[in-house]
Chain A
Amino acid sequence: MRRIRAWGPGFLLVLPSLILLGIFVYGFLGWNVRVSFTDWMQFGETSGFVGLQRYSELAENEVWWRDVRHLLVFTLVFVVGSLLFGFFMALLLEKGVRGENFFRSVYLFPMAISFIAVAIVWRWLLDNGSGVNTAGINKLFAYIGLESIRSDWHKTDSGWAVAAVALPAGWALSGYVMALFLAGMRGVPDELREAARVDGAREPAVFWHVVRPMLWPVIMSALVILAHISLKTFDLIYAIDLRSPRIETPAVYMWFQTFQANFYARGAAVATLLLLGVAVFIVPYIWYSLKTERRR
């Protein structure tokens, strides 16, 4: 009885969210995995179990592998780019510019815009028309006499076309990364920096030996947040160039399989693989944070 009194209230407190999460997140995750083992096509639900057939079909599907390649390129450019930009913006702001609040809001605002709206704007900015049809960033280049560096952006033939889509994604999220880094940098006690300065360390050395080691938790969280956003990115790619084979990723592929072809089983298989992909990032992170919490 006393035991229940000890954990009972806490348990009651989390019970509603546990129930909701249990049904609407984990229950449906399980349902999705189950569907991926069936041959459910079209509306009439079928429960013919076909084991791993949906997955082996994907393994032989060149469109699937093309999309996976796109996703890797996108994730790499988007995550690394956002981390770098976010970091440098935080570094600049941390040095104490005048009107810091203003700049912080300016950099943070793009995150408040939905990816669909971002895509519509950038679809025009990344237009690759030439001659009288020049528009967007290329036109800006032309104005300042830099026509030679015009780019085909996401319409290039190269396998890196999808990297151009990482541009708007990074634009939208590097402000958020900046805020994370800024909080991390501000979290470093001044006493530590002063102690280092007293010991004769110059500013770069103070940063490298004192601030940097304390930023690891921030980098880890930023990495996890960005990576899972990257895997799930759908609206941006969908709206920037509908069904373009040069930038399609598994999330978009999943949508078309499910809602256009009504091939629910295959859509579910793709969704399951994406879930595993997210787990690759999330599980080590959870493990890491559990470990550090226990250490405290």
Chain B
Amino acid sequence: MRTRRSGLLAVAMATMLVLAAACGDDGDGGGGGDNTEVEVFTWWTGPGEGEGLAELERLFTEANPDIEFINAAVAGGGGEQARALLTNRMQANDPPDSFQGHAGKELLDYIEAGQLEDLTYLYEQEGWLDVFPEDLIEQVTVDGKIYSVPVNIHRANLLWFNPETLNDLGIEAPPTTWSEFLDQAQEIQAAGKIPLAIGPLWTQEHLLETVLLGELGPEAYTGLWDGTTSWTDPSVVAAMEVFSDVLDVSDLDEAASDWQPQLDKLVNGSAAYAVMGDWAFAYLDSNLGLTYEQQYNAVASPGSDGVFDWLSDSFTIPVGAQNKEAAEEWLRICGSREGQDAFNVLKGSVPARTDADTSLYTDYLAWNLPQWTDPNTVLVPSLAHGAAASNAFKNQIEEHLGTFVGDRDAVKFTENVQSAYESTSG
């Protein structure tokens, strides 16, 4: 009797649990779609970006006091965890009203699956086609349609260094070509320092893209992503040989575990150079409190002067968003000059718009911003950060890169990547 009663109790409790779970789901999913709220999904929780998002939220609620802003941020650096969670929500037809994604090819999977709204009309209404650089518009357009609104621009092709270290080494200026870099590397090694600090695989991929860009030039580099440059072309193989030489003078065997410790080696003077995107600025400036041009500095990575290797955080509206009009209002804030200036000053990036208030940007950003807005600057998309290659292609490049770093077989690498391009671009 006793067992039976507890058995029934167990059944009852299990049933209640199931019911409770079901109710909970309803509570979360229901928003009614009456545009009284907007759920914005990002991975901006870290220092700088978290404050930037809060500032955007403030501007949004000021302009739209009737709409409640729901911050659905998921922590985690480059957004891997956020993307995995987002995938689940998209599969379950429970999309947020707007989500963050790297502009460019990273969004391609969503676009091909018909999961993103075409936002070209917003661009026309808001006049964004005239204020975003033409190259950028072209590189985020898929079959004549634009699916996301870029909020900020980061730059990937940068060579960071510590001026004091270069002084000690008697090096007058950072290298302007990779072969000049390799020459300098001999001296730096002779002085017992590491010529180039490096980190985990994604930083090696980041380095690969800057070497390819520097050796092939912007046009052939861009061609790698649209099929007009073959990976098996002798010039690409030669560039891979250069990449191998560059790896040889890096501290690959003692690679740092992340990009901050990688830059720490510049700060403590044990390494001369590091290739890193300009999120390094926020780290060196705010976290470490160093002085621009005195204790750290950056130039375009070798062979890429006048070229801007960009990546961008952008916002989208998924198909099936419950509060589509509220999401449009959110995107209007994201694309506005006021919104972009407020956000980027805090995030440590430059606005995607070319009409920013330049007085707000100081130090490194004051050096970088005019290059972004200069109409003569050539824009190219970043591989390591999702702008250049589709997710499937990028993943295969990373796989082959891991092998290449071990065996240094440039011919095998380029053949593998070419066939990966063919199999993923169809």
- Give A contacts to B, CB under 8 Å: 9-10, 12-13, 15-17, 20, 41-44, 62-63, 123-124, 127-133, 152, 155, 157, 240-246, 248, 256-257, 259-263
Pick the residue among A12, A41, A128, A130 that contacts B7 (CB under 8 A): A12
B333 within 8 A of A: no
For the residues of B in contact with A, the DSSP-based class is helix
**Residues on the A chain within 8 Å of B338, using CB:** none
If A42-B392, A245-B406, A261-B396 touch, whether A124 touches B254 (CB-CB below 8 Å) is no
Across the A-B interface, the 6 shortest Cβ-Cβ residue pairs:
A245-B402, A16-B14, A261-B395, A43-B113, A13-B7, A44-B113
If A243-B200, A245-B403 touch, whether A155 touches B253 (CB-CB below 8 Å) is yes
**Residues on the A chain within 8 Å of B406, using CB:** 245-246
- Given A9-B7, A16-B14, A245-B402, 14 other A-B residues pairs in contact with their CB atoms under 8 A: A9-B3, A12-B8, A13-B6, A13-B7, A16-B10, A155-B254, A241-B257, A242-B202, A243-B398, A244-B200, A244-B402, A257-B395, A259-B80, A262-B392
Give me 24 A-to-B residue pairs in the complex whose CB atoms sit less than 8 angstroms apart, sorted by A's number: A9-B3, A13-B11, A16-B14, A42-B112, A43-B109, A43-B110, A124-B257, A127-B257, A128-B254, A129-B251, A129-B254, A131-B192, A132-B269, A133-B265, A155-B253, A155-B255, A157-B253, A243-B201, A244-B200, A256-B395, A257-B395, A259-B87, A262-B87, A262-B392
B84: nearest chain-A partner, CB-CB: A259
Q: Assess whether A43 is in contact with B91, with CB atoms less than 8 Å apart.
A: yes
Kindly count the residue-residue contacts between A and B in the assembled complex, taking CB atoms under 8 Å apart: 108
- Give B contacts to A, CB under 8 Å: 3-4, 6-8, 10-11, 14-15, 80, 83-84, 87, 90-91, 109-110, 112-115, 192, 200-202, 251, 253-257, 265, 268-270, 391-392, 394-396, 398-399, 402-403, 405-406
Q: How far is the CB of B160 from chain A (nearest CB, A)?
A: 17
Pick the residue among A13, A62, A261, A262 that contacts B10 (CB under 8 A): A13
Q: Assess whether B201 is in contact with A44, with CB atoms less than 8 Å apart.
A: no
Complex Cα gap A241–B198 (Å) = 13
If A63-B403, A131-B270 touch, whether A242 touches B201 (CB-CB below 8 Å) is yes
**Residues on the B chain within 8 Å of A123, using CB:** 257
Complex Cα gap A245–B406 (Å) = 8
B6: nearest chain-A partner, CB-CB: A13
**Residues on the A chain within 8 Å of B91, using CB:** 43
A63: nearest chain-B partner, CB-CB: B399
Complex Cα gap A257–B392 (Å) = 8
Complex Cα gap A42–B14 (Å) = 36
Complex Cα gap A207–B115 (Å) = 66
**Residues on the B chain within 8 Å of A12, using CB:** 7-8, 11
Q: How far is the CB of A8 from chain B (nearest CB, A)?
A: 9
**Residues on the B chain within 8 Å of A17, using CB:** 14
Q: Assess whether B109 is in contact with A42, with CB atoms less than 8 Å apart.
A: yes
Q: Assess whether A10 is in contact with B254, with CB atoms less than 8 Å apart.
A: no
Complex Cα gap A92–B406 (Å) = 44
B405: nearest chain-A partner, CB-CB: A245
Q: Assess whether B255 is in contact with A263, with CB atoms less than 8 Å apart.
A: no
Complex Cα gap A199–B251 (Å) = 65
**Residues on the B chain within 8 Å of A260, using CB:** 80, 83, 391, 394-395
Complex Cα gap A132–B270 (Å) = 7
Complex Cα gap A128–B7 (Å) = 57
Complex Cα gap A92–B394 (Å) = 52
Complex Cα gap A87–B406 (Å) = 38
Q: How far is the CB of A125 from chain B (nearest CB, A)?
A: 11
Interface centre among B114, B251, B257 (most CB of A within 10 A): B257
Q: How far is the CB of B83 from chain A (nearest CB, A)?
A: 7
B110: nearest chain-A partner, CB-CB: A43
Pick the residue among B14, B200, B268 that contacts A133 (CB under 8 A): B268
If A16-B14, A133-B270, A244-B201 touch, whether A43 touches B90 (CB-CB below 8 Å) is yes
Interface centre among A43, A248, A256 (most CB of B within 10 A): A43
**Residues on the B chain within 8 Å of A13, using CB:** 3, 6-7, 10-11
If A157-B253, A243-B398 touch, whether A262 touches B109 (CB-CB below 8 Å) is yes
B112: nearest chain-A partner, CB-CB: A42
Complex Cα gap A261–B397 (Å) = 11
**Residues on the B chain within 8 Å of A157, using CB:** 253
A11: nearest chain-B partner, CB-CB: B7
Q: Assess whether A16 is in contact with B90, with CB atoms less than 8 Å apart.
A: no
**Residues on the A chain within 8 Å of B257, using CB:** 123-124, 127, 240-241
Complex Cα gap A261–B395 (Å) = 6
Pick the residue among A41, A44, A244 that contacts B114 (CB under 8 A): A44
A43: nearest chain-B partner, CB-CB: B113
**Residues on the A chain within 8 Å of B253, using CB:** 128, 152, 155, 157
**Residues on the A chain within 8 Å of B4, using CB:** 9
Complex Cα gap A260–B398 (Å) = 11
**Residues on the A chain within 8 Å of B11, using CB:** 12-13, 15-16
Q: How far is the CB of A228 from chain B (nearest CB, A)?
A: 23
**Residues on the B chain within 8 Å of A129, using CB:** 251, 254, 256
